[in-house]
Amino acid sequence: MDTRKRTFLKAILWNLLGLASMALVGFLMTGSAALGGGMAVANTLIGLTCYIVYERVWSRISWGRIGGGHV
């Protein structure tokens, strides 16, 4: 199982990548850096929260792991 610190760092790094790409897409679609950036920040905050919860839930499930007891 990953530590909480590792899960959080993975989530932060993944969401920084997503923030950059979403800001670019938002800017290209709206022509506004402020609107595109706002959309990207909202998306990143929602995605970060969902990713952390998702990873923590799956870290407690042994199904499908080799040697996890449940196959």
pLDDT(71) > 70: no
Q: Where are the domains of the chain?
A: 4-59
Output Rg (C-alpha) for the chain, integer angstroms: 16
Contact 46, 67 (CB under 8 A): no
| pLDDT digits 0-9 by tens, 5-44 | 998 898 889 889 989 999 999 999 999 999 999 999 998 8
Better-predicted residue by pLDDT, 2 or 21:
21
pLDDT of residue 33: 95
At residue 32, the 3 state secondary structure works out as coil
Cα angle value 17/51/44 (rounded, 5°): 45
